[in-house]
Amino acid sequence: NPVVLLPGNTCSQLEARLTDAYEPPPESPQCGAGSNERGRWFRLWRNATAMDDPAVAPCLADQLRVVYDPAARDFRNVQGVETRVLGYGSTADFLADTEANK
């Protein structure tokens, strides 16, 4: 019998990279401004530290946000945020601590 795995919010791992085009929200200027995240890939989703830290949680919410483009009739990342999914199509990265394996 086949095993069917449905990745959900606890299995998916998403990395992001901030470019110079990223502008943090006015209420959270610490998000990405001169941070170590600019220009390098970092764990965005499944980042337990950011989820538990009230000072960092607004950054997580802003960088996970998508914007609707009515001309393209599609959604895209916030300007200046690039994302990638770890282990897309594989079970190898389900709940794996990829930061420790780098």
Q: Order of strands, edge to edge, in the sheet holding 81-85?
A: 42-45, 14-18, 81-85
Supply the mean pLDDT for the chain.
75
Residue 98 pLDDT grade (very low, low, confident, very high; cuts 50, 70, 90)? very low
Read off the pLDDT of residues 52-86 as tens digits, 9 standing for 90 and up: 777 778 888 898 889 999 999 999 999 999 998 87
Percent of the chain with pLDDT over 70: 62
Contact 33, 13 (CB under 8 A): no
Q: How far is CA 35 from CA 19, 24, 43, 67, 69, in A?
A: 11, 11, 14, 23, 28
CB atoms within 10 A of CB 11: 15
Instruction: List residues bridging with 98 in a β-sheet.
Output: none
Average pLDDT over residues 14-22: 88
